[in-house]
Each structure stands twice: as structure tokens, then as C-alpha cells.
Amino acid sequence: MEVKLLTYTQHPQRVIYAAAKQCYSKKDAAAIFESSQRESEAAISTFVKGIMARGHMSPLEHVSFTFAVNGISRACSHQLVRHRIASYSQQSQRYVDMESFEYVIPPLIAADAGLKQKYIEAIEAIRKSYTQMKNVLQAHKDLDREAINQDLRFILPNAATTKIVVTMNCRELLHFFSERLCARAQWEIRAMAEEMCRCVQKVLPEIFSEAGAKCVSYEYCPEGDKGCGRYPGR
């Protein structure tokens, strides 16, 4: 798995500052943003921390982060796209030939030599079938590559890796982290969330320094008796 931060909103602290200040000012956000150039970084940072402490979250939605994520499984990407307030661009199994697809081996299977061998054999059997069926379909001159790929992808496993570009605003990222940094989150998307969180903490520590699972904010575990034990349930 590889997570790279491609880009983010320029001057994010000042954008949040201007958006929040406008809510209580006769000035417009553009004028406030311009005047913020005369404010120290420390003052802006303190203000942003203040609105976080007060739960004034709407200004956070004006700052977004874009990530390139490579090498996660399709099982993981299916979980990721359930987060609806986000934008996604994913590698297509219709337009990209998947005969040489790479795949993820889950840790429980990887830890057992016998299971790992059976897993690899199952994956390679799928790959062999994919190739054999592709060769048959390519013999039909009226079928183009797209038509062939779009039907062959039905046999591809959830383990097949994918590439996806993800854009989320700060508020949605906090929600994403609250769900996916939980100890009960599936291990792969949790690992991806950890990498994403490290990226944004470097840029906006005022917002993300304490980002974490739901229990971090609630100080109790909403998972009840299924929790990890870090916080008691209610």
C-alpha cells in the first residue's frame, strides 16, 4: 500500500480563519483573508484551534486534501467509497487489462504457510482462467478490448489491487478517521487511514493532531462490549 498526499487547499489555516470570521463580521471573507496576511501564524493557529474547541465545524469544509492511494484491494476500496462526502477516481477494470493483476494477502492467511499456499493457488487459478477466456474472446473479431474486459472482470477477486484518487474536506476526514481508525475497523482500511492521518497532521496539526477513533472524542466506546477496552462502553 502506498498513500501520497497530492495536493491540498492553499493557505488552509487562513481559509478556515476567513470562513469562520465572516460568520461574525460585516466584512466579506475575501477581505478577511487578505487582512489575515498581517496576522502572525501563531495567532491564526490559535484561532483555528479555538473554533475546533467550540465545535464550529462548517469552516473546515472549505479546505480539502487529495490523496493518491495505490495497492489497496478492491475489498478495501469498496469500503472507502461508502464515505459519500468525497470525490473518487478509480482505476477501471473495464479499460485496463487485468491479466497481470497484483493482489493483497490478508495477514491471517499470510501467517499460515499452508493457507498462504492455497490462497496463492486460488488466485493463480483465477488468473489462468482470465487469460484462457480472454484468448477465446479475442478470437471473435467483432469484440473489442473494452467489451472483453468488462465481462472478464466478473471473475476477478476482491484481493485484486487498485489505484484510486481520493479528495475529502477536513470535516469529512475527521469523520473518516473517527470510523476507520477504530480498533474494530477492518485492518486494511485502518492502515490506509493511519497513513492519510499522518499526511494531514503535518499540514494542519490544529485540526488533526488529536484525530482518532470515535472514542477519542466521546471518551466512551460506542461499540459497547465489542470495544477494544481503551474506553468503557455505556
pLDDT digits (tens, 9 = 90+) for 15-44: 999 999 999 999 999 999 999 999 999 999
Distance CA 232, CA 226 (A): 10
Residues 79 and 20 in one domain: yes
Domain-embedded: residue 37: yes
Catalytically annotated residue among 38, 54, 180, 234: 180
In a domain, 234, yes or no: no
Q: Which of 128, 155, 182 is the last residue of a domain?
A: 155
Asked if residue 165 and residue 151 are part of one domain, the reply reads no
Q: What would the pLDDT profile of 188-223 be if each residue is shown by its tens digit? A: 999 999 999 999 999 999 999 999 998 887 778 888
Judge if 85 and 175 occupy the same domain. Answer: yes
Ramachandran bin of 174, using left for φ above 0, alpha for ψ from -120 to 50, beta for the remaining angles: alpha
Q: Do 121 and 8 sit in the same domain of this protein? A: no
For cell 464550529, the residue is 56
Q: Which domain holds residue 68?
A: 2-89+161-226
Residues 165 and 79 in one domain: yes
Is 97 within the bounds of a domain?
Answer: no
**Are 109 and 123 within one domain?**
yes
Helix (H, G, I), strand (E, B) or coil at 224: helix
Q: Is residue 38 annotated as a catalytic residue, yes or no?
A: no
Threshold 0.85, pTM exceeds: yes
Residue 158 cell numbers, joined: 476482491
